[in-house]
Amino acid sequence: MSQAEYIPGTCNIGGGEITRRRMVALLGLILTLSSTATLISNEASRQSRFTIFLPALVMSIGWVQSRKRFCLAYGFAGTFNLGSLGKLSKVSDQAARAADRKTAVKILAQSALYALVVTALVVALPL
């Protein structure tokens, strides 16, 4: 897609927003790695290692949104932003809003699955 345009259920963010999602993914990755290192160095119990889910979820939501060029929060809110940061537009068509909500749910589910995989790996680490 050379020029960003709103496509219901497919694309609701432009370049600036995609960069923002990549930064969220990077922050989530840093938090996940540092939390994992802390858990390992403190020989944390298996139960406490489940806490890695939250930073892993932040990481995966940012990554999936940037790859799909779609913000799940905007999808749920019925908005999109293909211009400068902070300049939201409303989606007026009900069918388009429904398509956006469906994609937002898929992104949330996919991100949660990735976070669960990361969490399972961390919990399974022998200490």
Decide: helix, strand or coil at residue 89.
strand
Residue at token pair 């892993």 = 56
C-alpha closest to that of 67 among 22, 33, 105: 22
- The answer on pLDDT for 1 being more than 50 is no
Query: What residue spans define the domains of the chain?
Result: 15-124
Residue 122 pLDDT: 96
Strand partners, 80: 89
- The answer on pLDDT for 67 being more than 60 is yes
CA distance 64 to 85: 19
The dihedral built from the CA positions of residue 45, 31, 12 and 87, taken in this order, carries a sign that is: positive
pLDDT tens digits for range 116-126: 999 999 999 98
pLDDT tens digits for range 8-55: 999 999 999 999 999 999 999 999 999 999 999 999 999 999 999 999
In sequence order, what are the residues at sequence separation of 6 or more whose Cβ sits closer than 8 angstroms to the Cβ of residue 89? 6, 79, 80, 81, 82
- The answer on pLDDT for 57 being more than 60 is yes
Q: Which residue has the higher pLDDT, 113 or 2?
A: 113
